């Protein structure tokens, strides 16, 4: 077990959050005990910072900082210490290329000016867990000058089709990076951005060594930080690649696996 932990870095969806996209009372109580011990809580998520604020996660977790949009935004307190965007022309080109693909269900462009989705933003059903404002239809994106932190492409097809689309984009754009390619989702970030680099930036700012961090994750966008940080834990519902790379495996997200591991090994 780790000798000293200063920061707890944890993915949100399917790791800290249960299948209802919620934080259990038990998980919140364990996180509070960790904060009382002087440990910093750091969400590392594909979600935007504004998304986590809107859904109440920031208020509930009271994080030391956070790694958002898969590392494109790093926050300490409520101050951004790092941001990087995909250039506007690239993001627009990706959207235009994918908008004609039948396998693409929902396309979300998340950036400093708000987020854009190829659906009626007046209908809450279409924007799902994003929910925060400002929200725009993707048709409006051409009129904005700014870049995008991350693109999320929700797919209706299988892994073969996801891989085909990823290959297509790589052949056309050299300034994007895929943080996740699975059967129903592509996550696209700026080159040089991932959760591990985001955690490293935050740790350097905090003066914390990587060996004094514990990380939790479940999916491919967590894999690099699971591989690179010595104290790594995969939840029981994680992908096989993540469990194989992790030092430990805890219970599933619906079992409160992260909280139970912390209570057993850290508190």
Looking at the predicted structure, is the pLDDT value of residue 129 above 70? no
Q: Identify any residues that bridge with 162 across adjacent strands, giving them in sequence order.
A: none
Instruction: Give the fold, CATH level 3, of 7-83+193-265.
Output: Rossmann fold (3.40.50)
d(C-alpha 33, C-alpha 66), whole Å: 19
Phi, then psi, of 111 in degrees rounded to 5: -145, -175
What's the pLDDT band for 124 if we cut at 50, 70, 90? Answer: low
Reading the block at residue 178, the tokens are 């895929």
Max mean pLDDT range (20-34, 103-117, 172-186): 20-34
Reading the block at residue 181, the tokens are 């390619």
| pLDDT tens-place string over residues 11-45 | 999 999 999 999 999 999 999 999 999 999 999 99
Instruction: Give the H or E element holding residue 43.
Output: strand 40-43
| Domain spans in the chain, listed from the N-terminal domain onward | 7-83+193-265, 88-190
d(C-alpha 1, C-alpha 165), whole Å: 42
Topology alike, domains 7-83+193-265 and 88-190: no
Greatest distance between any 2 Cα atoms in the chain? 53
Reading the block at residue 115, the tokens are 């987020």
Asked if residues 153 and 185 have their Cβ atoms less than 8 Å apart, the reply is yes
User: What's the helix, strand, coil split of the chain in %, to 5?
Assistant: 40, 25, 35
- For residue 143, the model assigns a pLDDT of 83
- For residue 228, the model assigns a pLDDT of 97
What's the pLDDT band for 106 if we cut at 50, 70, 90? Answer: confident
Reading the block at residue 17, the tokens are 């959050």
Q: What angle do CA 66, 67, 73 make, to 5 degrees?
A: 110
Reading the block at residue 212, the tokens are 């004094």
DSSP structural state of residue 140: G
Q: What is the CATH number of domain 88-190?
A: 3.30.1240.10
Of 111, 104, 194, the closest CA to residue 150 belongs to: 111
Asked if residues 171 and 198 have their Cβ atoms less than 8 Å apart, the reply is no
pTM (2 decimals)?
0.93
Looking at the predicted structure, is the pLDDT value of residue 1 above 80? no
Tracing tokens 């440990």 back to the chain, one arrives at 39
Reading the block at residue 3, the tokens are 């000798």
- For residue 131, the model assigns a pLDDT of 61
| pLDDT tens-place string over residues 236-263 | 999 999 999 999 999 999 999 999 999 9
d(C-alpha 242, C-alpha 3), whole Å: 23
d(C-alpha 140, C-alpha 151), whole Å: 15
Q: What percent of the chain has pLDDT over 70?
A: 95
Distance from chain centroid for Cα 200: 15
Mean model confidence pLDDT for the chain: 92
DSSP structural state of residue 39: P
Dump strand ranges (E) for 60-134: 65-68, 73-76, 79-83, 104-111, 114-117
């Amino acid at each position: 077990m780790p000798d000293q932990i200063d920061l707890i870095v944890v993915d949100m969806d399917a790791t800290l959050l249960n299948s209802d996209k919620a934080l259990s009372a038990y998980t919140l109580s364990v996180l509070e005990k960790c904060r009382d011990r002087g440990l910093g809580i750091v969400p590392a998520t594909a979600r935007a910072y504004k998304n986590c604020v809107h859904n109440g996660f920031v208020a509930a977790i009271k994080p030391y900082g956070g790694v958002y949009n898969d590392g494109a935004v790093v926050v300490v307190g409520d101050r951004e210490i790092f941001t990087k965007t995909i250039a506007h022309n690239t993001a627009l080109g990706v959207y235009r290329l994918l908008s004609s693909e039948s396998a693409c269900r929902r396309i979300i462009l998340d950036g400093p000016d708000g987020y854009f989705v190829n659906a009626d933003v007046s209908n809450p059903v279409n924007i799902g867990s994003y929910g925060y404002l400002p929200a725009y239809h993707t048709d409006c994106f051409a009129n904005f000058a700014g870049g995008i932190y991350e693109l999320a492409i929700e797919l209706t097809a299988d892994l073969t089709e996801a891989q085909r689309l990823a290959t297509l984009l790589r052949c056309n754009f050299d300034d994007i990076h895929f943080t996740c390619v699975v059967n129903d989702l592509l996550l696209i970030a700026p080159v040089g951005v991932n959760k591990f680099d985001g955690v490293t930036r935050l740790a350097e700012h905090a003066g914390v060594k990587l060996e004094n961090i514990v990380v939790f994750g479940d999916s491919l966008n967590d894999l690099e930080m699971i591989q690179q940080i010595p104290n790594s834990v995969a939840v029981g519902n994680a992908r096989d690649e993540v469990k194989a790379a992790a030092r430990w495996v805890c219970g599933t997200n619906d079992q409160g696996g992260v909280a139970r591991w912390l209570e057993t090994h850290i508190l």
